[in-house]
Structure 1
Amino acid sequence: MTICLFSALYTQAQDNHKGEKEPTKPEETEFYEPVPPTVTPATKDKAPSDATVLFDGKNLDAWVSTKSGSKASWTLNRDGSMSVKPGAGDIQTKKSFGDVQLHIEWRSPEKIEGDGQNRGNSGIFLQDRYEIQVLDNNDNDTYVNGQVGAVYKQFVPLAKASVKTGDWNTYDIIYHAPEFDEAGNKTKPATVTVLHNGILVQDHVLIKGTTEYIGWPKNDPHGEGPIRLQDHGSAVSYRNIWIREL
């Protein structure tokens, strides 16, 4: 919320000169408010100072089973990661979110099994509805709007930027939630930008609605929602998950 407010004030400050006489001195176009908050950047082992840590390898306390609402039962690993426990079902954050910056690291199983959508498949759902695909696409083609880095069934990634199978990938996601009027009509679509291992793969795309496996996107009104990680039957691993509310 603080970042959105700062952005609005910044835009307002820039627009205030409209209709005024052209400045002739440099100080006439300088302003000193609002002052941006100071944030300590992330390091390899630490999230930014204003982030909420969702997973640091110690426990699954921030997560619950999507199916039952009970304690998440995915596998905690000694290397500080967690892995999908096939058959246990999806897990999701206890807390719900709207506009966010999400950092998440993942890797597909080193042992290659299956092909197409059945190899290293998982997904990251924003607000429990909008999926960014996780998949091992190395020497493994599939439909391109369902490959790694896709907004599932909607937007093909701009590039395939995966590391070697079994190595760690990074997603940095900037997401802005959709808006609805009092009658439940969508007045503003959700948008998402995704960097995969530092490579831009989704460039502020307008999400069409829910990312359905079968059928068209749906646009039922909703508020904040959890981050959900998918159990698609493959032991994909995750680590170093943090989020900043925008």
Structure 2
Amino acid sequence: MVKKSWLPITVIFAIILIWELAARVLQVPDWILPAPTVILAEAIAGWSNYQHHIFATIKLTIYGFLSGVIIGLLIAMTLHLVPRLREALYPLLIMSQNIPIIVLAPLLVIWFGFGITPKLLIIILVCFFPIAVATIDGLKQTSPELIHYMKMAGATNKQIFTKLELPHALPAIFSGLKISATYSVMGAVISEWLGANQGIGVYMTLASSSFRTDRVFVAILFIMILCLLFFMLIIGLEKILIKWRKDENG
């Protein structure tokens, strides 16, 4: 595992080194493309200026992600347990993702104002779909032989769902959670562009309008870090909750 991780780390360091050398040799102005060392220096020196923005984004991301997870799971379970409802609503579920969030965001502001509600709705909209689709697919992939065996043993539909289908779908659910975890940070930043007074999205907008490209890259850096941390958190939970999968793989 450690050996495998060296390859992407090496590639990342190579890209940073090439970027640094190109910026220095070609003397690219910082307001166009700052060198990585310039970005790092601003990240360290300006911590007191943007730390509250980071914490605000983390808080908003967590609230939106948890809400999206709950809604996505409830939708998936409902559609799975009621096949007729799944046939009627599943196409609408797919169509809901064809609407660009950037287009929908101003409408949410008109309908719900500039409070936290439209921001949470944006995060929920980008989070619930991967979870719902992954959960539906995971529940459908349960072995028919096992379902038949449990019915022969006298199990109720509730017992089949809780004891067989739901545990069997956990790997698929966590796949959806990994995608949604990264989407949630993106959704939070987009929602902050609507008119928030703090957050990484606000910090990025102010930096861009003042041609502080180094600060824009600092914001991008922390967005990437937050996405990675959320992703790793989901992986950690997956390893804890799905120990049987590891045993099956040897």
TM-score bucket (shorter structure): under 0.3
TM-score (norm 1): 0.23
Q: Which has the higher helix share?
A: 2
Q: Which has the higher strand share?
A: 1
